[in-house]
Structure 1
Amino acid sequence: MKRIALLGECMIELNGAPFGAMEQTYGGDSLNTAVYLARCAGQSINIDYISALGTDAISDGMLSRWQQEGVGTHYVLRDAQRQPGLYLIQLDDQGERTFLYWRNQSAARYMLQHPKFDKVSTHLKQVDWVYLSGISIAILPQEDRQQLIDLLAELTQSGVKVAFDSNYRPALWESVEQAQRCYQQIFSFTDLALVTNDDEEALWGDSCEEATLARLQQAGVRKAVVKMGAKGNFYQDFSTDDRMFIATNPVQTVIDTTSAGDSFNAGFLAGVLTEKDPIECSQQGHRLAGTVIQHKGAIIPHVATQDIDFNQAQ
């Protein structure tokens, strides 16, 4: 059985209209992926989430709910001095969202400075895959970013594979150049890059998926997925130059695109970790994301995903 550790931040989510009706839940790109990975992989994969929370009641509640989802939480650090971050989602009539964040003093931001992070580092040497995103790196203080990148590079030397979703958020970076430098280092040892065409255009100025794939290959990425939203995705294995496009079935009613990419990543990774081929991995990701965007919030009700047949051909 494969073991994967997903690293990042989960925040308290408020979903609704300012000064109007609000729903409180939780979400964060890497945690979203961990939850959906647990839902579609069942007991076939060991899943650990790596992060930090406070010791407050909301942190306790979040931890309990992750455990109920089947996500391992033994390496979620607890920080008595800090709490989870907070974000507010506002939706327009087309399901597109805007965000407001309060995360500068979140526990997850300082997880590498936690006195027990050395135990996390030791554990990561025992897993098959580590998954993280651009946000996982961007939220950290500058001095901690390089520490994490160096740790990941060390892990790959001992056989651990890295999956990286670039998930570029300009507001989290001091400059475009700084984000590019960090990403270039990570790409040099990335086994599977999961990127989105819009993010790659914003960060690198890529004009098309061919430009993105060529740049990722030059950077040292082994395999890459370029997500194209409702169109589908490109996949390329750079060791064989095997490139393909996998279309997705259109979703007629889009309620909320939050977590679309995160859930696709979960479906794709579940396929990789259970040794499915790239077409099956992509179709699995599309089916999961297509369900998620028909509901509000980052983590949709469990009942909404339990009837997805991941063995069904698209």
Structure 2
Amino acid sequence: MKRIAIIGECMIELNGAPFGTMQQAYGGDSLNTAVYMARTAGQSVEIDYISALGTDTISNGMISRWQQEGINTDYVLRDKTRQPGLYLIQLDDQGERTFLYWRNQSAARYLVRHPNFAQVELHLQTVDMVYVSGISLAVLPAEDRQQLVTLLGQLSSNGVEIAFDSNYRPALWESADEARKCYKQILSFTNLALVTDDDEETLWGDTSSQATLGRLQSTGVKKAVLKMGPKGCLYTDFTTDKPELIGTTPVETVIDTTSAGDSFNAGFLSGYLTDKTPREAALQGHQLAGTVIQHKGAIIPCYATEAMDFNIHSTASTTTTKL
């Protein structure tokens, strides 16, 4: 059984109209992926969530719910002086979302300087894969961010696979140059990059999938998934020269695109870590994301995923595009 450690921040989620009806939940890109991985992989993959929370009632409730999902929370550090961050989701008529955040003093922002972070460092040496996103890095103070990237590089040198979702959010970074500098460093030892075409265009100015994949290869990335929304994704192992286009089934009614990429990552990684083919893993990611965007909120009710069949084995012909 493979073990993955997912590093990041989970916040309290408010979903609804300001000064109107609000639903309270929780979410965060890395935690969303952890939850959907637990639902997809079941007992086939061990999932550790690495973060920091307060000792307040809401923090206790969040941890309890993560445990109910099957996530190991032994390395969620507790901070008596801070609480979880908060965010508000507002949706337009097409299901697209905008966010407001209150996270500058969240416990997760100070994860790396927590007195018990050394225990996390030791544990990370024992896992098969560490997953981190651009948001996981962006929320940290610059010095802490560099410390974490250095740690990830050391883990990679020792044989731990690094999976990285660029998930670029300009408002979280000091500047685009700072984000590019950080990304270049982590991509140099990334085994599996999970990136989105819109984000790559925004940060790097990429004008095509060829440009994105070429740049990722030049940084040292070994394998990459380029997510392209309703067009599907491109999977590339850079030891070969034929990226594989893996299409998805269009969703007629999109309710909320929150967590679309996070859930795709969960489906793909669950397949990747249980030895499914890249095509099977991507189809699993597409299936999960297609279900998630038909519900409101970052983490949809369990019943909506319980009925899904994740035993995907592809017999269809594979579409390949030589770039």
Question: Does 2:128 correspond to 1:128?
Answer: yes
Letter in structure 2 aligned against 1:229: G
Find the aligned partners of 1:312 and 1:138 in 2 and give their Cα distance.
35
CA distance in 2, matches of 1:153, 1:143: 16
Counterpart contact for 1:283–1:313, Cα < 8 Å: no
Partner Cα distance (1:78, 1:178) in 2: 29
CA shift, 1:241, in A, is 2.2
Q: Deviations over 1:2-27 (max 9, x none)?
A: 00000000000000000000000000
Correspondence for 2:140 = 140
Secondary structure of the residue aligned to 2:268 is helix
- Aligned residue in 1 for 2:287: 287
Residues 91-110 of structure 1: pairs in structure 2 closer than 5 A = 91-110=91-110
Match of 1:217 in 2: 217
Contact 1:32 1:262 in 2 (8 A): yes
Unaligned runs of 5+ in 1: none
Which residue does 2:319 correspond to in 1? Answer: none
- Structure 2 Cα separation of the partners of residues 101 and 167 of structure 1: 16
1:242 maps to which residue?
242
CA deviation string 1:71-122 (max 9, x = no partner): 1000000000000000000000100000000000000000001000000000
User: If the length of structure 1 is used for normalisation, what is the TM-score?
Assistant: 0.99
Q: Distance in 2 between matches of 1:120 and 1:230?
A: 38
Contact kept, 8 Å, 2:280 with 2:312, in 1: the verdict is: no
Contact 1:9 1:136 in 2 (8 A): yes
Q: 1:313 to 1:276 in 2, by over 3 A?
A: closer
Contact 1:235 1:243 in 2 (8 A): yes
Specify the alignment match of 2:32 in structure 1: 32
Distance 1:110 1:209 in 2: 36
Per the TM alignment, residue 231 of structure 1 is displaced from its structure 2 partner at its CA by 1.1
Displacement after TM superposition at 1:312 (Å): 3.9
Separation (CA, whole Å) in 2 of partners of 1:106 and 1:84: 5
Residue aligned with 2:306, SS: coil
Percent sequence identity is 72
Gaps of 5+ in 2: 315-323
Secondary structure in structure 1 of the residue aligned to 2:112 = helix
1:256 alignment partner, SS class: coil
In the TM superposition, what are the counterparts of 1:20-59 in structure 2 within 5 Å? Answer: 20-59=20-59
Instruction: Provide the alpha-carbon RMSD of the alignment.
Output: 0.7
What is the rounded CA distance, in whole Å, between the counterparts of 1:64 and 1:245 in structure 2?
Answer: 39
Q: Which runs of 4+ in 1 moved over 3 A?
A: none
**In 2, distance between residues paired with 1:88 and 1:37?**
24
2:293 aligned with 1:307: no
| Aligned mates of 1:70, 1:247 — CA distance in 2 | 30
Aligned equivalents of 1:180 and 1:149: distance in 2?
Answer: 13
- Equivalent position of 1:199 in the other structure: 199
CA shift at 1:239, angstroms? Answer: 1.2
Shift of 1:242: 3.3
Q: Distance in 1 between matches of 2:189 and 2:173?
A: 22
Which residue is equivalent to 1:170?
170
Instruction: Name which of structure 1's ranges 236-245 and 106-115 shifts more when overlaid on structure 2.
Output: 236-245
